[in-house]
């Protein structure tokens, strides 16, 4: 028994020895790529949400024409947006540098995990950016999508090369398992030679099984059909049992709270046991969000599930807010606002979110994307979308939501 083990080990040493030399270049490039360049400047702590937009030719992070998931609402280049400068900006926090988004690293760390975005079309925007970023990292992986009424799921799965596992099964290299990419690189190298090792290693060997899901919910709290009509129930949240099984939750809601007239998807609003025809929307938002906050406090096991709230995403229809009075949409905007403050200040809803989150006793991370997005009046589709309507609410993909995901990535890995 011992003898067999020893023989197995020395055989592996031999393989490792032969190919280590050839693999040095590969290992180095992997290290360069995955190293977290998370440099906090010496003084003070870093607030990654305070900063400025700077031009960086390494952007965008992916070529939108190669992403098979982009919906027509967000695919600005496909629908003829002529200016491309908006793709070239990187968010630069004042006190630190963000690490580069590393899709492989993201998938490795999220192995077998379920990540769910929950909310309105801003969540759809955010989710689509993430699946494009991950797809760009592992274009050859087996990516499957599933849809049902409320949930869209994209699963990143990579085919295992079974015989490689057979080959290394009996090996015991320094008492470690073989599932690290370095050893797999060595083994692969000995079977295939350099080209496969260099180009397709990670995309074939990793079996991520990562699900990136979208749960459509306009208000987080419920709307129910009753005899009187559609009732928005500020105290009722019935989808929580689906949400709390996830490993990462990214919530968002705001866009629909202020809608009136034909765009208002409810007829009455129920607060406690009282039915109102309408109420102050900021008050309603506060109450609805508080119901969600209570659910997080009572029902979410935050030792298992990471909870994020995607802050208020701004729109750009009122030029007064960026010192261009008279401007009523974003169609002429081709550059961000320079500097780190937005002339129009923060929206009221931002204060509501801050207040409600401050009352949650469990750890919830606010992805505080409001100011950095306010500065990006140039990043909306305007009329370059599949329905030709003027849209200064959502964001082009590739584009600003990629930065939201870079920030999500930092928050997840730290």
Ligand X SMILES: *[C@@H]1O[C@H](CO)[C@@H](O)[C@H](O)[C@H]1NC(C)=O
Q: Return the bridge partners of 214, or none.
A: 117, 152
**Helix 281-299 × helix 348-358 angle, to 10°:** 30
Q: Give least dist CB 22 to ligand X, A.
A: 30
Single residue of 6, 29, 47, 142 touching ligand X by CB under 6 A = 142
| Interface characters, 262-301, with ligand X (x: CB under 6 A) | ----------------------------------------
Residue 71: HSE in the Cβ half-sphere, 13 Å Cα cutoff: 12
By the rule CB under 6 A, 225 interacts with ligand X: no
Among 30, 94, 191, 242, binds ligand X (CB under 6 A): 242
Give the integer Cα–Cα distance in Å for 405 and 411: 10
- Which residues, in sequence order, are CB contacts of 9 under 8 Å at separation 6+? 171, 172, 173
Within 311-350, which residues bind ligand X (CB under 6 A)? Answer: 318, 320-321, 327-329, 331-332
Considering the rule CB under 6 A, would residue 149 count as an interface residue with ligand X?
yes
Total residues in contact with ligand X, by rule CB under 6 A = 17
Token pair for residue 73?
A: 């609402």
191 binds ligand X (CB under 6 A): no
Report the residue number, 20 or 331, with the smaller CB distance to ligand X: 331
Interface with ligand X (CB under 6 A), residue from 92, 157, 236, 302: 157
Between 98 and 249, CB nearer to ligand X: 249
Nearer to ligand X, 52 or 206 (CB): 206
Say whether residue 188 binds ligand X (CB under 6 A).
no
Residues that bind ligand X (CB under 6 A): 142, 144, 148-149, 151, 157, 159, 242, 318, 320-321, 327-329, 331-332, 390
């Amino acid at each position: 028994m011992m003898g067999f083990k020893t023989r197995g080990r020395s055989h592996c040493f031999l393989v490792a020895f032969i190919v280590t030399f050839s693999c040095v270049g590969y290992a180095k490039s992997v290290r360069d790529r995955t190293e977290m360049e998370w440099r906090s400047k010496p003084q003070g702590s870093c607030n990654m949400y305070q900063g400025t937009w700077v031009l960086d030719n390494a952007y965008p992070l992916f070529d939108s024409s190669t992403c098979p998931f982009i919906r027509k609402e967000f695919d600005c280049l496909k629908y003829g947006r002529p200016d491309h400068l908006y793709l070239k900006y990187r968010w630069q926090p004042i006190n630190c540098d963000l690490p580069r988004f590393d899709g492989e690293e993201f998938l490795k760390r999220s192995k077998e995990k379920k990540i769910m975005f929950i909310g309105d079309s801003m969540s759809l925007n955010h989710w689509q950016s993430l699946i494009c970023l991950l797809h760009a990292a592992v274009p050859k992986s087996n990516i499957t999508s599933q849809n049902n009424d409320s949930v869209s799921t994209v699963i990143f799965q990579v085919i295992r090369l079974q015989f490689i596992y057979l080959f290394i099964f009996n090996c015991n290299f320094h008492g470690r398992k073989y599932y690290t990419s370095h050893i797999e690189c060595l083994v692969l190298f000995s079977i295939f030679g350099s080209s496969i090792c260099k180009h397709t290693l990670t995309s074939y060997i990793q079996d991520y099984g990562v699900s990136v899901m979208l749960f459509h919910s306009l208000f987080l709290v419920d709307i129910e059909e009753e005899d009187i009509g559609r009732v928005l129930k500020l105290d009722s949240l019935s989808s929580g049992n689906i949400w709390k099984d996830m490993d990462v939750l990214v919530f968002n809601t705001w866009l629909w709270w202020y809608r009136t007239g034909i765009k208002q998807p409810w007829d009455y609003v129920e607060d406690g046991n009282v039915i109102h025809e309408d109420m102050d929307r900021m008050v309603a938002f506060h109450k609805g969000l508080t119901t969600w906050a209570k659910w997080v406090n009572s029902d979410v096991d935050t030792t298992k599930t990471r909870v994020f709230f995607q802050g208020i995403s701004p729109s750009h229809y009122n030029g007064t807010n960026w010192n261009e009075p008279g401007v009523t949409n974003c169609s002429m905007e081709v550059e961000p606002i320079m500097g780190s403050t937005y002339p129009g200040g923060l929206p009221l809803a931002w204060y509501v979110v801050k207040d409600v989150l401050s009352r949650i006793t469990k750890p919830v991370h606010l992805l505080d994307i409001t100011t950095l997005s306010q500065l990006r009046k140039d990043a909306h589709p305007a009329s370059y979308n599949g329905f030709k309507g003027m849209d200064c609410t959502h964001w082009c993909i590739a584009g600003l939501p990629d930065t939201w995901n870079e920030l999500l990535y930092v928050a997840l890995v730290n």
